Structure 1
Amino acid sequence: MNEPPVVTTAAGAVRGFWREDAGAASAAFLGIPFAQPPTGDLRFAAPVPVPPWQGVRDATAYGATPHRNAEGITLIPEPSIPGESTLNVNVFTPRPADSAARLPVLVYIHGGGFTSGSPASPWYDGRAFNRDGVVTVTVSYRLGFDGFGAIEGAPSNRGVRDWLAGLEWVRQNIAAFGGDPERVTIAGQSAGGGAVLALLGMPAAQHLFRAAIALSAAIADVRPPRAARAARRLATLAGVPATRAGFASVPEERLSALQEAAGRPETAGRLAPVRDLLDQGPPWGPLVDGDLLPQPTLEALAAGVGADKPLVIGATDDEFTGVTEGLHKTLRFVPASIAVGLVLPDRVTRRGYLAANRPQRRLGTAAVLGRFVTDRIFRSLVMRVAQARATASAPTWVYRFSWVSPTKHWAMHCVDVPFWFDCLDADGVAAIAGDAPPRALADAVHGSAVAFLREGDPGWTPWTSQPGATRVFGGAASAPDVIADGYAGVQPLVS
């Protein structure tokens, strides 16, 4: 460890740096480009391979990120790093330059609603997985309109093509970092979990990984008419023709600033954005283009795409409730049936849902509304995916994360991530998990991930063997770890 580690990739040599975790040494290689900068003529193009370089390239600092919004910190600290070479990977490995090691590989795709997020988060550092014998890679991809907008004359799903290019880079180069290209598991949280499901259901991606983990997945499956409307509105706001040349004349930062307004629903009312999100999903994200995504994700999974790949999927109990908590005083005298009725007009479904969630109703209408949005976007998807893969040849395991944050007061969106990465001492964790997050919970959550990555089994009964079987992380001390029907509360939304 006296000399910095050097690894030779297909494009050239890279120099990383050593570090330690609990006495275990590992190396980090940051900002390695897997494609040329998507600027100039390559803006809105499919990713183009990097030309070879001479000498040893320094890989000791994170590369530029596609995320351009540096305003504040979200629940997960995800820094925005300026620069043009935004398509890069970060590799964390305990066995650099040891092609005989053949360690399992985790490729992690960050979230952020397909419009933000960063692979350079300190939470995504793979040191804990390295300690446990897993090579870890984080990958960047183009975001928002630049990554996913529909543009006449430009390839669709550029962000998706970035995922594929990053995975192709892993397949070609990861052995040089001590990893096994035949033992790659893709994982992601939120939009990153949606990316995982999109890849799982994508015929063109099947040779690039062997297993998948989707945490709090949110899929987009944007339909062409919606994508076309949003692109036209963005062009109008930017004052340019809705063509490749027109959009290319607008700086990326400008389009990024306008894309939120362009994606808003055209109908008025305070609840219009919520209804639009629930009914149609986000305006920017993977597009069902008939090419890379021939059909919506759930249809692809039900048709058997990805059926040979093991899957772990789950969500936190109250992904969205922290948002609606601010409405507690406003809604305290409003019956839950009326509040939920504003976004769930079907009376029969509404009655069934409220009956299945009586414990949540005792927490107030704001809590019920937050749980409903959570269930519509995240938790019902868990059940739908498990059901779509009912006849798959590979198992599906389902979990819930139920530990309540002492600072945010809910088992909310993102609170599970530092436990999964076992990075409880990382910057920003105390804000979401308190000053003393339970070590035993991190051991259980992270340990199950390691077991799946290494052995192909996270350690509980799969849904495919016993429909409804759910591992509950961080539940009541007196409750069993595995319950028979962990997503019964969302059944009325799935039936």
Structure 2
Amino acid sequence: MTSHTGDDTDRAAEARVTTGALAGRERDGIRRFLGIPYAKPPFDERRFAAPEPADAWEGVRDATRFGATAPQPPYGGDIAELLNSVVIEGDDILTVNVWAPADAANAPVVLWLHGGALERGSSAQSGYDGSTFAREGIVFVSANYRLGIEGFSVLEGSPLNLGLLDAALALEWVHREVAAFGGDRSHITLMGESAGGLLVAALASRPDSRELIVGAIIESGPLDADPPKRAGRASAAIAQHLGIRPTREAFSAVPPQDLIRARAELNRGGSLLSGSTASFSLALDPATLPQAPRDALVDFPHPILIGTNTDEYRIWFRPESLEKIRGLTAVAGRLALRISARAAREARAAFPDANPGEVLGQLLGEKLVRAPATRLARTRRTPTYVYEFAWQSPVRDLRAAHAVELGFVFDALDTDDAVALGGTDAPADLAREMHAAWVRFIRTGDPGWPRFDTDRITQVWDTTSRAMPQRRQGLVDALG
């Protein structure tokens, strides 16, 4: 651990990157620089185009505030009580933030990519403050990228996977500039959760991006990429709804908020279980993503830390809504998700006290993230470390739902984001233990428990944590 004086005086901090000088702040031995542009604003003539590196500026740029957030819809309904939306107006949305030990010299680096279903979220959320990593001697960088329609539409005349291209350019920025903050450009680890985990997996799959990193942390991230036609279902539906063609020219003529409004109108009444909502996804593309991560990561030559939460689905459904799913409704939901009867039997056996709606929810979470993560870990020969987060949050009976682990990973249980998901009495010892494992992986490529390998050893994080053979193996196997 980096030692600091404990001085909590807030003072000016300076750094210089290739595009100009930065004025940040230093407090308690941590230097913080926010809202640094890594690319030009992707609007006007650059809308729906590949990102371009940021221009140089004259004088000293203020780096004490987060940059603008990407256009996105707010969370609606019950989930808005749990997940925060930060809105910062402006066009300079492609920015990075840096937290670095004041005495950093060739320190290990981590680049964090936020989640939000490729449609929401930002690096400005309270739970993503990098101070806890910087206190451990790590240079922590977070990045914004284009979301939803602006970042993941499939349009004639526009490159595919624009949000992924943004993330790739942010990684290039880190590799080029992180030495200015005391970071080691040859020791960069990627880390992300949910959609951010998917982007981490995709960057580690791209031949040019994987050369810049030494490891990857994937938390509850899907590992798929779709053929362009399937990946374009959401943007095609928006085009039809608005009576325009799915082209760059036509979409560029519609203001971002009008596109977001059309998306909201189309999604009204849809759900994950019904299969009626077309999600944004990555597209297979020779130029931007030649292989799906589930295939490309098999030969990724560096360590991977990957895992899921026991009750992923409970972030998306209230307990009372799950109670209503019974009989033929449960069967119809399973068929809509293309899940076999064998897998359903395994889920019922693994969760004998669960009602039919909860069983269906477990099947959804297992299919989306846990089964793909397991398949990947089983096929890799390079060190792969698997975890399951199992601590039961008392908030809204979330249990170990999607995203609940974030406050523990960041060892920041007192942030608004963490309290919303885990309450005010979440176990601090578990947070310190998990955070230490993530820090160790970033430093060494080994989080401190056995590799997955043939014995399927998994670290289960709970009030009493332990490494053990993977639980519910029959269910994972039944899902293919």
- What is the TM-score with the length of structure 2 in the denominator? 0.91
Map of 2:19 onto structure 1? 11
Aligned amino acid, residue 460 of structure 2: V
**Aligned counterparts of 1:315 and 1:2: Cα–Cα separation in 2:** 38
Residue 359 of structure 1 deviates from its aligned partner by: 4.3
Within 5 Å, which residues of 2 pair with 1:180-219?
Answer: 180-219=184-223
Deviates more, 1:71-80 or 1:213-222: 71-80
**Aligned counterparts of 2:110 and 2:157: Cα–Cα separation in 1:** 35
Aligned amino acid, residue 376 of structure 2: V
**Aligned counterparts of 2:131 and 2:272: Cα–Cα separation in 1:** 39
Within 5 Å, which residues of 2 pair with 1:92-111?
Answer: 92-95=99-102, 101-111=105-115
In the alignment, structure 1 residue 161 sits paired with structure 2 residue 149: no
In the alignment, structure 1 residue 443 sits paired with structure 2 residue 436: no
State whether residues 64 and 85 of structure 1, in contact with CA within 8 Å, keep that contact through their aligned partners in structure 2: yes
Aligned amino acid, residue 297 of structure 1: P
Aligned amino acid, residue 425 of structure 1: D
State whether residues 112 and 142 of structure 2, in contact with CA within 8 Å, keep that contact through their aligned partners in structure 1: yes
**Aligned counterparts of 1:336 and 1:232: Cα–Cα separation in 2:** 29
State whether residues 197 and 217 of structure 2, in contact with CA within 8 Å, keep that contact through their aligned partners in structure 1: yes
SS at match of 1:361: coil
Residue 334 of structure 1 deviates from its aligned partner by: 3.6
State whether residues 227 and 287 of structure 1, in contact with CA within 8 Å, keep that contact through their aligned partners in structure 2: yes
Map of 1:36 onto structure 2? 40
Superposed CA deviations along residues 143-187 of structure 1, whole A, max 9, x for unmatched, are 112111111112221111101110010011001101111111001
SS at match of 1:321: helix
Map of 1:453 onto structure 2? 442
**Aligned counterparts of 1:336 and 1:411: Cα–Cα separation in 2:** 25
In the alignment, structure 1 residue 80 sits paired with structure 2 residue 87: yes
Within 5 Å, which residues of 2 pair with 1:142-153?
Answer: 142-153=146-157
**Aligned counterparts of 1:218 and 1:194: Cα–Cα separation in 2:** 5
**Aligned counterparts of 1:11 and 1:297: Cα–Cα separation in 2:** 33
Which of 357, 364, 371 is residue 355 of structure 2 equivalent to? Answer: 364
State whether residues 68 and 82 of structure 1, in contact with CA within 8 Å, keep that contact through their aligned partners in structure 2: no
Within 5 Å, which residues of 2 pair with 1:404-419?
Answer: 404-409=392-397, 410-419=399-408
**Aligned counterparts of 1:177 and 1:345: Cα–Cα separation in 2:** 49
**Aligned counterparts of 2:220 and 2:236: Cα–Cα separation in 1:** 31
**Aligned counterparts of 1:460 and 1:39: Cα–Cα separation in 2:** 46
Aligned identity (percent) is 34
Instruction: Tell me the C-alpha RMSD between the 2 structures.
Output: 2.4
Which of 297, 318, 327 is residue 321 of structure 2 equivalent to? Answer: 327
Map of 2:368 onto structure 1? 377
Distance change >3 Å, CA 78–CA 423, structure 1 → 2 = farther
Distance change >3 Å, CA 282–CA 417, structure 1 → 2 = farther
Superposed CA deviations along residues 114-149 of structure 1, whole A, max 9, x for unmatched, are 011111011100111011111101101001121111
Distance change >3 Å, CA 218–CA 67, structure 1 → 2 = farther
**Aligned counterparts of 1:367 and 1:273: Cα–Cα separation in 2:** 14
State whether residues 384 and 451 of structure 2, in contact with CA within 8 Å, keep that contact through their aligned partners in structure 1: yes
Map of 1:467 onto structure 2? 455
Residue 236 of structure 1 deviates from its aligned partner by: 2.4
Map of 1:488 onto structure 2? 473
**Aligned counterparts of 2:330 and 2:90: Cα–Cα separation in 1:** 50
Map of 2:290 onto structure 1? 294
State whether residues 224 and 294 of structure 2, in contact with CA within 8 Å, keep that contact through their aligned partners in structure 1: no
Map of 1:309 onto structure 2? 302
Residue 364 of structure 1 deviates from its aligned partner by: 1.8
Map of 2:67 onto structure 1? 63
Superposed CA deviations along residues 179-199 of structure 1, whole A, max 9, x for unmatched, are 111111001001111111111
Residue 344 of structure 1 deviates from its aligned partner by: 5.7
**Aligned counterparts of 2:472 and 2:206: Cα–Cα separation in 1:** 26
State whether residues 110 and 442 of structure 2, in contact with CA within 8 Å, keep that contact through their aligned partners in structure 1: yes
Residue 80 of structure 1 deviates from its aligned partner by: 1.5
State whether residues 41 and 94 of structure 2, in contact with CA within 8 Å, keep that contact through their aligned partners in structure 1: yes
SS at match of 1:274: coil
Map of 1:267 onto structure 2? none
State whether residues 336 and 369 of structure 1, in contact with CA within 8 Å, keep that contact through their aligned partners in structure 2: no
In the alignment, structure 1 residue 135 sits paired with structure 2 residue 139: yes
Extract unaligned runs of 5+ from structure 1.
265-269
Superposed CA deviations along residues 175-233 of structure 1, whole A, max 9, x for unmatched, are 11011111110010011111111112222211221100000112451321123444333
Aligned amino acid, residue 414 of structure 2: D
**Aligned counterparts of 2:165 and 2:252: Cα–Cα separation in 1:** 19
Residue 492 of structure 1 deviates from its aligned partner by: 3.4
**Aligned counterparts of 1:236 and 1:52: Cα–Cα separation in 2:** 41
Aligned amino acid, residue 413 of structure 1: H
Residue 336 of structure 1 deviates from its aligned partner by: 10
**Aligned counterparts of 2:236 and 2:394: Cα–Cα separation in 1:** 44
Aligned amino acid, residue 285 of structure 2: D
